[in-house]
A and B are shown apart, each in its own frame.
Chain A
């Protein structure tokens, strides 16, 4: 295959085009910046907290945000340390190295400090697939840390595959409310203490994000979380990649359909009293129930540790 811009040998062919190394890099940045512009994800003067695990996706995101927005915005890197020995400790070292090299200040928040247990401990205390519990704690801590750093937005490196997985999971679980909360800006309802999450990589595939980190020499650990792949998401992820290989453009079509649904139904969602947020009675964070999910997990861990 030849690059569609210069006819040199291509390194990738996807629904975003067929490109050589140099044109792939420029096209990747162009799509990211046009997503930011189209959906007004970053406005001048805003403080942007970049959720940075130290992995390939988040480092690629930090690279672009630091490159294009450091002059106009306050950029801070936030890392959530789940406490996964041999994995997160390594990516944290990588994160520090790149933050220092790109002159971005970083903050680290740990599950152990918040919930009194690392993810390694939680998997021993709570049998079963740990991804749900981990997701609850990570979302909570990202919001908490972003608010603590007075961030206007949390930028995450969620890509087209992540979004397509979410769409399919919500479809199979008949969860329409969660479906229309997806999109380049997560969430619909505005509430004090809730920092909106933005996804500048939403229209870029996982393969492209991985390739971008490789061709830019971002030397991140190229191994997945040791607990991933066990859950429902792992199954869906494999199926989506099969579908995309058979029918190129499938993922993008799923995203376009979700955006149409979101535009059509998000007003009704916000107006529905069932979807109103309240303050968690324990921590005061935005919650859909009296006690937020993270405080529930924290209580559960405390109980399991005492038995």
Chain B
């Protein structure tokens, strides 16, 4: 199991365990969809859904929303 720390403006911070390490699995585990979020690491790198995260990774989940 790979442990990833996810930060988000709504839920704050949480640790998520995923089997494959794939961003796609992380998004599914967070009960959202690829079209609704951007996964960005602490260096500002933006991850597509096929990318693999390492154990201990820390990422931001930025929700896509209309307007502003």
Residues of A within 8 A of B (CB): 1, 10-13, 18, 21, 53-58, 91, 157, 159, 161-162, 165, 205-207, 210-211, 214-215, 220-225, 228, 237-238, 241-242, 244-245
Q: Is B34 an interface residue (CB 8 A)?
A: yes
Please state if A211 and B65 are interface contacts (CB–CB under 8 Å).
Answer: no
Please state if A224 and B35 are interface contacts (CB–CB under 8 Å).
Answer: no
Partner of A13, one of B40, B48, B65, B67: B48
Please state if A210 and B62 are interface contacts (CB–CB under 8 Å).
Answer: yes
Please state if A245 and B33 are interface contacts (CB–CB under 8 Å).
Answer: yes
Q: Is B66 an interface residue (CB 8 A)?
A: yes
Please state if B68 and A53 are interface contacts (CB–CB under 8 Å).
Answer: yes
Contacts of A242 in B (CB 8 A): 33, 35-36
B interface: dominant SS: loop
Contacts of A225 in B (CB 8 A): 67-68
A296 and B46 CA atoms in complex are apart in Å by 47
Please state if A162 and B68 are interface contacts (CB–CB under 8 Å).
Answer: no
Q: Is B1 an interface residue (CB 8 A)?
A: no
Contacts of A159 in B (CB 8 A): 66
Please state if A161 and B66 are interface contacts (CB–CB under 8 Å).
Answer: yes
Number of A-B contacts (CB under 8 A): 79
Please state if A210 and B67 are interface contacts (CB–CB under 8 Å).
Answer: no
Given the known inter-chain contacts A1-B50, A222-B9, please indicate yes or no for A245 contacting B67, CB distance below 8 A. no
Give chain B nearest CB distance to A81 CB in angstroms.
Answer: 14
Please state if A241 and B64 are interface contacts (CB–CB under 8 Å).
Answer: yes
Closest to B33 in A: A245
Please state if B48 and A10 are interface contacts (CB–CB under 8 Å).
Answer: yes
Contacts of B48 in A (CB 8 A): 1, 10-13, 18
A241 and B50 CA atoms in complex are apart in Å by 18
A293 and B34 CA atoms in complex are apart in Å by 38
Please state if B35 and A222 are interface contacts (CB–CB under 8 Å).
Answer: no
Q: Is B49 an interface residue (CB 8 A)?
A: yes
Contacts of A162 in B (CB 8 A): 66
Please state if B68 and A222 are interface contacts (CB–CB under 8 Å).
Answer: yes
Most chain A CB atoms below 10 A, which of B9, B38, B47: B38
Contacts of A215 in B (CB 8 A): 46
Partner of A222, one of B46, B51, B62: B62
A243 and B34 CA atoms in complex are apart in Å by 10
Contacts of A13 in B (CB 8 A): 48-49
Please state if A53 and B67 are interface contacts (CB–CB under 8 Å).
Answer: yes
A159 and B66 CA atoms in complex are apart in Å by 9
As a 0/1 sequence over residues 28 to 68 of chain B, the CB contacts with chain A under 8 angstroms (1 = contact) are 00000111101010000011111100000000001011111
A238 and B36 CA atoms in complex are apart in Å by 8
Q: Which of B2-44 contact A (CB under 8 A)?
A: 9, 33-36, 38, 40
Contacts of A12 in B (CB 8 A): 46, 48
A18 and B48 CA atoms in complex are apart in Å by 9
Please state if B33 and A223 are interface contacts (CB–CB under 8 Å).
Answer: no
Please state if B46 and A11 are interface contacts (CB–CB under 8 Å).
Answer: yes
Please state if A221 and B46 are interface contacts (CB–CB under 8 Å).
Answer: no
A57 and B66 CA atoms in complex are apart in Å by 8
Give chain B nearest CB distance to A265 CB in angstroms.
Answer: 27
Give chain A nearest CB distance to B57 CB in angstroms.
Answer: 16
Give chain A nearest CB distance to B23 CB in angstroms.
Answer: 11
25 contacts between A and B (CB under 8 A): A1-B50, A1-B51, A11-B46, A56-B68, A58-B68, A159-B66, A161-B66, A162-B66, A165-B66, A206-B65, A207-B38, A211-B46, A214-B38, A215-B46, A220-B68, A222-B9, A224-B67, A228-B65, A237-B66, A238-B36, A241-B33, A241-B35, A242-B36, A244-B33, A245-B36
